[in-house]
């Protein structure tokens, strides 16, 4: 079964002063959406390129991350979301948003654990928030 889905990133003001922006990942399929925080933040909306859905070159994040680090994190999270959808396609399952969300988180945790065992580096800066949007 072929699932039709889209995966995109967006930014959203995160603080009361609206000077910190959170990068969020969104997956849409079967007229439903899943949204999650990526754990990546920006201090200015100008650092976000809407067309490429990546951080502009030369940016340094509030936690000292470079644009390359943030963009690699976003690419990895997109890959893991695609992997979750492929899992359901191969197994001929029409998933619910909760199933996709669980498989995505499972895959992120597995990837993070394997990388941490090999290098001692934690890949996931903090995927702490999920919401199913109807």
* The pLDDT of residue 113: 74
Contact indicator for 111, 76 with CB cutoff of 8 Å:
yes
- At 84-119, the pLDDT tens digits run 999 999 999 999 999 999 999 888 888 777 766 666
Considering the chain, what percentage of its residues have pLDDT values greater than 90? 60
25 CA to centre of own chain: 4
d(CA 63, CA 49): 20
Q: What's the half-sphere exposure (Cβ side, CA atoms, 13 Å) at 114?
A: 6
- What is the pLDDT of the chain when averaged over all its residues? 85
Contact indicator for 9, 26 with CB cutoff of 8 Å:
yes
The torsion defined by the Cα of 3, 9, 81 and 111, in degrees rounded to 10, comes to: 170
d(CA 12, CA 18): 9
- At 2-58, the pLDDT tens digits run 899 999 999 999 877 778 899 999 999 999 999 998 989 999 999 999 999 999 999
């Amino acid at each position: 079964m072929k699932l039709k889905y889209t995966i995109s990133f967006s930014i959203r003001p995160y603080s009361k002063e609206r000077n910190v922006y959170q990068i969020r990942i969104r997956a849409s399929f079967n007229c439903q959406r899943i949204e999650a925080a990526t754990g990546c933040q920006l201090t200015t909306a100008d650092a976000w390129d809407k067309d490429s859905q990546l951080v502009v070159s030369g940016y340094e994040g509030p936690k000292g991350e470079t644009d390359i680090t943030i963009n690699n994190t976003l690419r990895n999270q997109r890959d893991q979301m695609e992997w979750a959808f492929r899992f359901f396609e191969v197994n001929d399952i029409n998933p619910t948003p909760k199933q996709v969300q669980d498989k995505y988180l499972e895959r992120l945790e597995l990837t993070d654990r394997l990388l941490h065992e090999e290098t001692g580096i934690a890949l996931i800066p903090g995927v702490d928030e999920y919401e199913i949007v109807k």
